[in-house]
Amino acid sequence: MTLQQLKPISNLLKATKFWQENYIILREFKHFRRIAILALLFTFTAAAFEGFGVGFLLAFLQSLTDPQAEPIQTGIRWVDVWFLGINASTTDRLYRVSGLILLVTLLRTGFTYLGQVYSEITNHSLADRLRKRLFEQFQAVSLQYFAKTRSGELVNSLTSEINQVSLAFGITAFLIIRGSTLIAYLISMLLLSWQLTLISVMLFALLSAAITTLLGRVREASFEWTKAAGSYASIALEFINGIRTVQAFATQDFERERFYAASSRFKKAAIKGLAASSSVEPLAEGGATAILVGILLLAFATLIPQGQLNPAVLLTFLFVLFRLMPIVRQMNGSRAQISSFQGPLSSIKELLRTDNKPYLIDGQLQFMGLKRAIEFVSVDFGYDANNLVLQNITLTIKKGTTTALVGASGAGKSTLADLIPRFYDPTAGQILVDGIDLRDLKINSLRRQLAVVSQDTFIFNTSVRNNIAYGTENADEKAILQAAKLANAWEFIRELPEGFDTQLGDRGVRLSGGQRQRIAIARALLRDPEILILDEATSALDSVSERLIQESIEKLSQGRTVIAIAHRLSTIVRADKVVVLEAGRIVEQGAYKDLLEQRGKLWKYHQMQHELGQVG
C-alpha cells in the first residue's frame, strides 16, 4: 500500500474529534509516518498470527479429544493435506499441528517484537519533535511572553510534561497493539461460538461503561496534578535561583512554608490522581473474572447438554477468553493512564498554540550598517496594553555618538534601550534606522550589528574562551586574546587554573561581578558591533575594578554608536547627548553642559546625586 492510497484513511481520521483536539500534536507524525505505518503493519500481522494460532489450537484439541471426528480444514487443499495432515494418522496430525502452533507462535512473537520496537521509535521521535517544536516556540515568542510566564512551569513542560505526553502516545500505540490482538481473538471467538461471544461482549461492554465513568474522575484529577506539578517546579526553581537572597534576608522560614505547601499540594494532587487511576484495574479485573465464571456456568448448564458446543470448542473458547482477559485489563489500565495524562497533554497543546502568543514578525530588509541615525518617533510602549511604561518618546541618536539615558529607577531607561534590539516592539509610534522602520529589517541582521553589555550578563556553563566567543562565529585564538586584553580581563583569566579553558558557571569557577562584566566587554569587543548598548553597573565595585572596567568600556565605545544607561558621572559628562527620563517620558535632552546651564531636571538631579556623593 502506498502513502497515496492511505489518503482516504487520513481524511477520515482528520474528520474525527480526536484529530481536531490533538491536531497540534498529531501533525508531527508526518515526520515519521513511514515508521508509524510500519509499526501498525507489524502489529496487525502479529494479530493475524494470533488468530491462526487459535485455529490450530482448536484443530489440535479436537484431534486430541475426539480423534474419530472429521479433522478441521481450511478448505485450501494443499494446506489441509500438507500442513494439517487431514489424510494422515491422528498421531501424525497432532505432530504436524503442534509444529504449526510453534511456528505461528514464533512468527507472532517476532512481529509483536517488531511492532513494539517500531512504536517505541515512533514514540520517542514524537517526544523529540515536540521538544524541538517547543524550543522553536520559545525562541520565536516575544520576550513579553516570558515576562508573564513562570520559568519553572516552562522548564517543567520541556522536561516532565513532554515525557508524559510521549508516554500517553506510547500507551495509545500499546492500545492499538492490544486492540488488534483483541479483534483477532474476537473473530476467533465468533467462529467458535457466536452465542458465548455475544454474551461475553455484552458483559464486557457493561464493564467498560462502568470504567468509562471512573475515567472521568481520573481526567479531572490529572488537571489538578499538572497544575500542582507546574507550581511546585516554579517555586523550586525560584528557591534555587534566589538562594543567596533567601539566606541574606533570613527568609528561610517563609520559603520553607512556601516550598512545603507546594510540595504537599503536589503530593495530595498526585495521590488523588493515582488513587483514581489505580481503582480502574481492580474493577476491571474483578469484573472480568465474574464474567468468565458466568460464561463457564452458562456453557455447562445449557450449551453442552444441548449438544450445541463440543468440549474441544469450549476448551479453545476458554483458552482465548483467558488470553483475552489480561488484554482487556491492560487496555482498561492504559485508558486510565491516558486519562491521567490529559493535564500535561493540554498544557503542551497550549504551549504549542501560536494564535494566543505575542510574536515578533521578522522584516525583509537586510541591515547593512548604520549610516545616519536611529530615530524614535512618538514611541509609546507598555508591557501590557493599558499600562504605558514609555510615552511619546521622540529622540534622535546620531551615528558615532554616545547617548546617555539618565533617570530615577523605574523611569524606563532599560525599556527604552530594549526597543533597539527589538526585544519588544513599540505599542505606538515608530523607531527608524536611517529612515527605515525597525520592523522592516531582518531581526538577526540588526542584532548581529549590536552588542549589549549589562550588569547581569549571563555566563554560560562552558569555558572562558567559549564565553567570550559566544555569538561570534569563527573567532580565532588571537582575536579572543586581544579582546580579553582590551577588556582588562586577561589579568584574571591568566590566573584561572586552566586559563581560557577554565569552565565557568555552575560546573566551574564562579566569577565576581566585575569579572563577569569584563567577560561581557570582551564578548562585545570580539563581536565588534556598530551599535553598543551599555547598561552600567549600579553596584559599587572596588576602585581598581571600577577603573579597569571604565577603561575597557572607553576602548569598547570608541567609534561606535553608544546608548548608555548611565549611572556614572564620567559617562554622562562624556556623552554627546543626555536624555533625562521621568516616569516614561523624556523631560529633557541635550548636551550635558547646555542642560546644566539651563538649571532644569538634570541640574536638580545632579545636585541631589552630588549631595549623596554619587550619580545614578
Ligand X SMILES: Nc1ncnc2c1ncn2[C@@H]1O[C@H](COP(=O)(O)OP(=O)(O)OP(=O)(O)O)[C@@H](O)[C@H]1O
Contact residues toward ligand X (CB under 6 A) are: 147, 383, 389, 407, 409-415
Which residue matches cell numbers 485489563?
A: 329
At closest approach, how far in Å is the CB of 18 from ligand X? Answer: 39
Cell of 281: 484495574
Complex with ligand X: residue 413 or 518, whichever CB lies closer: 413
Complex with ligand X: residue 55 or 412, whichever CB lies closer: 412
Complex with ligand X: residue 538 or 607, whichever CB lies closer: 538
Complex with ligand X: residue 149 or 330, whichever CB lies closer: 149
Nearest residue to 563 (alpha-carbon basis) of 486, 456, 454, 468: 454
At closest approach, how far in Å is the CB of 513 from ligand X? Answer: 16
* Backbone φ and ψ of 96, nearest 5°: -60, -45
- Gap between the Cα atoms of 497 and 570, Å rounded: 35
Which residue type, as a one-letter code, is found at position 91?
A: T
Q: Which burial class, exposed, middle or buried, applies to 152 when counting CB atoms under 10 A from its CB (0-12, 13-18, 19+)?
A: buried
At closest approach, how far in Å is the CB of 410 from ligand X? Answer: 4
Find the helix packing angle between 90-140 and 33-65, rounded to 10°: 160
At closest approach, how far in Å is the CB of 384 from ligand X? Answer: 7
DSSP structure string for 332-393: HHHHHHHHHTHHHHHHHHHHH-STTS-BPPP-SBPP---SSEEEEEEEEEEEETTEEEEEEE
At closest approach, how far in Å is the CB of 242 from ligand X? Answer: 17
At closest approach, how far in Å is the CB of 437 from ligand X? Answer: 22
Q: What DSSP state is assigned to residue 160?
A: I
Complex with ligand X: residue 19 or 145, whichever CB lies closer: 145
What count of other Cβ atoms lies within 10 Å of the Cβ of residue 444?
11
Complex with ligand X: residue 182 or 411, whichever CB lies closer: 411
Nearest residue to 580 (alpha-carbon basis) of 406, 441, 442: 406
At closest approach, how far in Å is the CB of 17 from ligand X? Answer: 38
- Walk across the sheet containing 373-384 and list its strands: 387-398, 373-384, 428-433, 436-437
Complex with ligand X: residue 217 or 567, whichever CB lies closer: 567
Complex with ligand X: residue 199 or 583, whichever CB lies closer: 583
Complex with ligand X: residue 314 or 452, whichever CB lies closer: 452
At closest approach, how far in Å is the CB of 600 from ligand X? Answer: 19
- Specify whether the CB–CB gap between 174 and 119 falls below 8 A: yes
Complex with ligand X: residue 302 or 538, whichever CB lies closer: 538
- Gap between the Cα atoms of 456 and 439, Å rounded: 27
At closest approach, how far in Å is the CB of 245 from ligand X? Answer: 17
Specify the pairing of strand 450-453 against strand 531-535: parallel
Query: CA of 328: how far to CAs of 180, 187, 194, 324, 489, in Å?
Result: 12, 15, 19, 6, 68
DSSP structure string for 47-108: HHHHHHHHHHHHHHHHHHH-TTSPPP--S-HHIIIIIS-TTS-HHHHHHHHHHHHHHHHHHH
At closest approach, how far in Å is the CB of 537 from ligand X? Answer: 11
Complex with ligand X: residue 313 or 565, whichever CB lies closer: 565
- 368 contacts: CB under 8 Å, gap ≥ 6: none
- Gap between the Cα atoms of 344 and 350, Å rounded: 10
At closest approach, how far in Å is the CB of 143 from ligand X? Answer: 7
